[in-house]
Amino acid sequence: MSSFFLQTIFNGILAGCIYALFAIGLTLIYGVLNFVNFAHGELIMWGAYFLYFLMDRPLNLPLSIAFLPALCLTILLGLGSDRFIFKPLRKASRLTLLITSLGLSFFLRNGAQFFWGAEIRTYGFEIKRGMKLFGVSITPNQLAIIVSSTLCMILLYLFFYKSRMGKSMRAISDDLELARVMGIPSDRAIQFTWIIASFLAGLGGILLALDTNLHPGMGLINLVKAFAATLLGGVGNLWGALLGGMIIGLSENIAVLLLSPGYKDAIAFGIMVMMLLIRSSTIFWPKE
Amino acid sequence: MLEVYDLYSGYGKIEVLHGVFLRVSHREIVCIIGPNGSGKSTLLKSIFGLIKPYRGKIQFMGLEISQKDPEEKVALGISYIPQGRNIFPSLSVLENLEMGATPLRDPLKMKKAIQEIFDHYPLLEKKKRLKAGSLSGGEKQILALARTSMIKPELILLDEPSLGLAPKVVDQIYREIDLINHQGVTFLIVEQNARKALRLAHRAYVLDLGVNRLEDTGEGLLQNEEVKRLYLGG
Ligand SMILES: Nc1ncnc2c1ncn2[C@@H]1O[C@H](COP(=O)(O)OP(=O)(O)OP(=O)(O)O)[C@@H](O)[C@H]1O
Ligand SMILES: [Mg+2]
């Protein structure tokens, strides 16, 4: 029983790591650009499919070689959506941005479905037996998830607290107008924000797909989780997003001990609705 | 140094300034007083370029600047401290200064400028690791002044530095302004509760309903019966 419980906690942390990667990206975009990017989930999904594309026929690249190009393609997708869609709308209302990002999300999801169909796919690795550690089974993929997301958090910390660009991004996220007034170049910081958010989305999507599978709907469901985590942690708050992701991951997996696994996704959804009720929805409407 | 000539400005269709005239000379402290909503903040924002004036001229050191962006104005030596939120609350005091030092560009110069500020304001150094949002109102205002004066601008546009502060703290802020002014920085200050500002100001204007009504020395306006009655609360 106790090792069963430990396994649940471990699975929760594992899921939490990935949700945190998603949520940090989402909260970053919100903080700097002041809107909820509903297409963030599609960056997750496309990241996973980019890797699939590179590893599938005709390229047949091995994972170790395809991994970085897949992430770069995801970053390009993020930068492209800013350059061609969100940048021209920089001065638009939050509602416009919200609906635009919803539209983009549909477009990208259908795009993936067009190329790869709606069915569930995997990267085609045989499932490796996990090693046992304190009665908890860990597969190599899961180990990769823990290691790379921990590494990401450390790098993010160093970036946001030690580098000038990172500090500028936090300043802009605090108050864009004041940042402009003080001569902090916001254009480059905004580009950097997209790079980081897309990178985290792509990485998380790939890790998730390595551990489970890919399908065009994976973006949307994970957007809900990232969004719930973001709301839990306080929108725009980086470490809050990390913590929120962990809480969602853990509560989902613990809930499965009590409920049927079919309800797993409902947990994040429930938390999201609850947080929206508590906080009202100032995140969608400009603050007075 | 700064000349504003027949300036019309506002927000979209809402015209707020209907022809404002103003002149600030080198090393002067000029104060604009006026009631709530008279367009004082709008005037500063227009001068700094956060909103583009409809028409009229703004000249800075002989250069026409009315259609320039804030970034260019910072480069020309104009700094602006907005009303109310004028620091980054979730950044530490030190990080606020680092951000303020952006126009200096050279990391070594930045470091030196920040050290000078810390030497001058030991209190800020003591609190440099704290979030700026946790400072008191007066400390925040000092921080805003410090990070602005650090880059040695020619002209500081200062919007309601005394907003929400206790009288004693206001005195301290004005002492700092005086000090910075003596280092050669020109000030254009906007105030609603204006006695202290007028006492310090070399010259002052009264702005009401988007036009300037009166111009005099600070003392002159302080003694003016009409100003006393209408704008200084008797
Ligand atoms: N962003 C805005 N959009 C539209 N109208 C605005 C905006 N900001 C201010 N106004 C209007 O412009 C007028 C002047 O405002 P402004 O802030 O310049 O006044 P103020 O003299 O600074 O007042 P206060 O002493 O309260 O700071 C007001 O009637 C105000 O309602
Ligand atoms: Mg004002």
Q: What is the mean pLDDT of residues B137-147?
A: 93
- Say whether B75 and A183 touch across the interface (CB within 8 A): yes
What's residue B113's pLDDT? 94
Q: What is the mean pLDDT of residues B224-231?
A: 74
pLDDT digits (tens, 9 = 90+) for B177-211: 999 999 999 999 998 877 888 888 899 898 888 77
Residues in B closer than 8 angstroms to A171, CB to CB, are 88, 91, 95, 99
Q: What is the mean pLDDT of residues B171-177?
A: 92
What's residue B85's pLDDT? 85
Show which of B105, B120, B152 is a domain's final residue.
B152
| Shared-domain flag, residues B177 and B147 | no
Distance B37 CA to ligand 1 centre (A): 5
Whether residue B165 has pLDDT greater than 70 = yes
Our answer on whether the CB atom of B172 is closer than 6 Å to any ligand 1 atom is no
- Say whether A175 and B85 touch across the interface (CB within 8 A): yes
Q: How far is B170 from chain A (nearest CA, A)?
A: 23
B48 CB within 8 Å of a chain A CB: yes
CA-nearest residue to A171 within chain B is B88
User: Where residue B217 sits, what CATH number does that domain have?
Assistant: 3.40.50.300
| Shared-domain flag, residues B129 and B175 | no
pLDDT digits (tens, 9 = 90+) for A143-157: 989 999 999 999 999
> In the structure, what pLDDT confidence band is assigned to residue A288 with cuts at 50, 70 and 90?
very low
| Shared-domain flag, residues B175 and B114 | no
Closest C-alpha to ligand 1, atom 29? B37
Tokens representing B12 are 């979209």
What's residue A186's pLDDT? 87
Say how many CA atoms lie within 13 Å of A237 toward its Cβ: 17
Distance B81 CA to ligand 1 centre (A): 16
* Range of lowest pLDDT (A219-233, A271-285, B192-206): A271-285
In a 3-state reduction of DSSP, which class is residue B143? helix
Whether residue A170 has pLDDT greater than 70 = yes
- Say whether A183 and B88 touch across the interface (CB within 8 A): no
CB atoms within 10 A of CB A145: 25
What's residue A162's pLDDT? 93
Tokens representing B106 are 């050279």
| Shared-domain flag, residues B124 and B173 | no
CA-nearest residue to B86 within chain A is A178
Our answer on whether the CB atom of B45 is closer than 6 Å to any ligand 1 atom is no
Beta strands B203-208; B211-217: pairing state = antiparallel
Q: How far is B147 from chain A (nearest CA, A)?
A: 9
Our answer on whether the CB atom of B210 is closer than 6 Å to any ligand 1 atom is no
Instruction: State pTM to two decimals.
Output: 0.87
| Shared-domain flag, residues B2 and B57 | yes
What's residue A57's pLDDT? 85
Residue-by-residue DSSP string for A180-212: HHTT--HHHHHHHHHHHHHHHHHHHHHHHHHHS
What's residue A287's pLDDT? 45
Distance B11 CA to ligand 1 centre (A): 9
What's residue A129's pLDDT? 73
What's residue A137's pLDDT? 85
Residue-by-residue DSSP string for A236-270: T-HHHHHHHHHHHHHHHHHHHHHS-GGGHHHHHHH
What's residue B31's pLDDT? 92
Report d(CA A228, CA A214) in Å as an integer: 22
User: Cα-flanking dihedrals φ and ψ of residue B231, to 5°?
Assistant: -115, -15
**Cα Rg of chain A, angstroms:** 19
Q: What is the mean pLDDT of residues B34-48?
A: 91
Distance A265 CA to ligand 2 centre (A): 49
Cis ω for the linkage preceding A69 (within 30 of 0)? no
- pLDDT averaged over chain B? 90
Would you give the DSSP letter of residue A130? P
Residue % of chain A over a pLDDT of 70:
96
User: Where residue A274 sits, what CATH number does that domain have?
Assistant: 1.10.3470
- pLDDT averaged over chain A? 89
Distance B111 CA to ligand 1 centre (A): 37
Show which of B106, B128, B152 is a domain's final residue.
B152
CA distances from A158 to A25, A144, B21, B112, B178 (A): 16, 21, 50, 23, 40
**Total domain count for chain B?**
2
Beta strands B203-208; B29-33: pairing state = parallel
Q: Which atom of ligand 1 is nearest to the CA of B192?
A: 25
pLDDT digits (tens, 9 = 90+) for A230-250: 988 887 788 889 999 999 999
Residue A121 pairs in a beta bridge with: A214
Report d(CA A164, CA A51) in Å as an integer: 32
What's residue A265's pLDDT? 84
**Total domain count for chain A?**
1
pLDDT digits (tens, 9 = 90+) for B86-124: 999 999 999 999 999 998 889 999 999 999 999 999 999
Size of interface A-B (CB pairs under 8 A): 54
Pocket test for ligand 1, best of B9, B18, B20, B38 (most atoms within 8 A of CB): B38
Whether residue B230 has pLDDT greater than 90 = no
**Residue recorded with tokens 């009229």:** B56
Tokens representing A88 are 């021209």
| Shared-domain flag, residues B38 and B72 | yes
What's residue A51's pLDDT? 96
A224 against A127, higher pLDDT: A224
Neighbours of ion ligand 2 (CB under 5 A): B 41, 83
Domain of B108, in residue numbers: 84-152
What's residue A270's pLDDT? 87
Residues in chain B: 234
ipTM value, please give it: 0.88
Would you give the DSSP letter of residue B136? -
Show which of B117, B134, B152 is a domain's final residue.
B152
- Angle in degrees, 0-180, between the axes of helices A140-162 and A2-33, rounded to the nearest 10: 40
Whether residue A89 has pLDDT greater than 50 = yes
Q: In 3D, which of A206, A185, A182, A160 has the Cα closest to residue A27?
A: A160
Q: What sign has the CA pseudo-torsion A37, A38, A39, A44?
A: positive
Residue % of chain A over a pLDDT of 90:
63
Report d(CA A202, CA A204) in Å as an integer: 5
Residue A59 pairs in a beta bridge with: none
Please measure the distance between the N-terminal and C-terminal CA atoms of chain A and give it in whole angstroms: 52
Tokens representing A152 are 């990401």
Our answer on whether the CB atom of B83 is closer than 6 Å to any ligand 1 atom is yes
CA distances from A200 to A21, A93, A255, B146 (A): 5, 26, 27, 37
| Shared-domain flag, residues B9 and B125 | no
Report d(CA B29, CA B154) in Å as an integer: 12
CB atoms within 10 A of CB B13: 5
| Shared-domain flag, residues B192 and B106 | no
Cα A248 from chain centroid?
A: 13
DSSP E strand stretches across chain A: 131-133, 136-138
Pocket test for ligand 1, best of B11, B17, B162, B213 (most atoms within 8 A of CB): B11
| Shared-domain flag, residues B137 and B171 | no
Say how many CA atoms lie within 13 Å of A285 toward its Cβ: 6
User: Which among B85, B91, B103 has the least Cβ separation from residue A171?
Assistant: B91
Q: What is the mean pLDDT of residues A92-119?
A: 93
Domain of A111, in residue numbers: 3-284
Q: What is the mean pLDDT of residues B129-134?
A: 94
